[in-house]
Amino acid sequence: MFTDARSKNILFVAHCLLNQNSISDGTAAYPGSVKHVMALLLESNIGIVQMPCPELNCLGLDRGNPDGGKSPVLIENTRIRAAMSQEAARAKLKALVGPLVFQISEYRKYGFDIKGIVGINRSPSCGVESTSRNNQEVAGRGLFMEALRCELEENGISLRMAGVKDSEPEELLTTIRNLLAHRD
């Protein structure tokens, strides 16, 4: 089954790497996609799964703060983290991770090589190695990545997760290249 031209290699990526229009006001570094990431992924013949933007899905595009672009990033990220910690947002996060775990399970069942999950460090939702809390960047996972990790663990699935920052393009590309080189 699945013996056609597909590579059977998959990478799950944070929504904003493919769509900068989804991120909080004042933080977009690119007009659309992060082009150098897109170029690397397209050259690699990898299947790209764009994860949902948890903040857009839970809080809306303005994240509940029409003046968000005027706030320093870490202060706004801390405010967003607090909003994402509310019961209603946490329920939406759980609902968002279920379909991702299903997709991962399906790909694995049919022998696809899932290279990993790419998150966005410093993000209150999608951080992998760092997140925002108490108006500073701290070690730890964002709320969405933590919910995803827990759901994967509950389903007996272990995947590599790596965080990147679009403000560090060389490190970003190195991190993604390392994931792409990994064999499941």
DSSP 3-state of 90: helix
User: pLDDT of 24-40, one tens digit each?
Assistant: 888 888 899 999 999 99
Average pLDDT in the 143-160 region?
97
Q: What is the pLDDT of residue 184?
A: 62
Which pLDDT score, from 0 to 100, does residue 167 have?
87
Residue 172's Cβ-side half-sphere holds a number of Cα atoms within 13 Å equal to 20
Mean pLDDT in residue range 164-181: 94
17 pLDDT more than 70: yes
Which band of pLDDT confidence, cut at 50, 70 and 90, is reported for residue 150? very high
pLDDT in tens, 63-96: 888 787 888 999 999 999 999 999 999 999 999 9
Q: What is the pTM of this model?
A: 0.95
Q: Is the model's pLDDT at 112 over the cut of 80?
A: yes
Q: What is the pLDDT of residue 106?
A: 97
Whether the Cβ atoms of residue 46 and residue 8 lie closer than 8 Å to each other: no
Instruction: Please identify which residue in the block is written with the tokens 């990993």.
Output: 116
pLDDT value at 171 more than 70: yes
Q: What are phi and psi of 19, to 5 degrees?
A: -150, 90
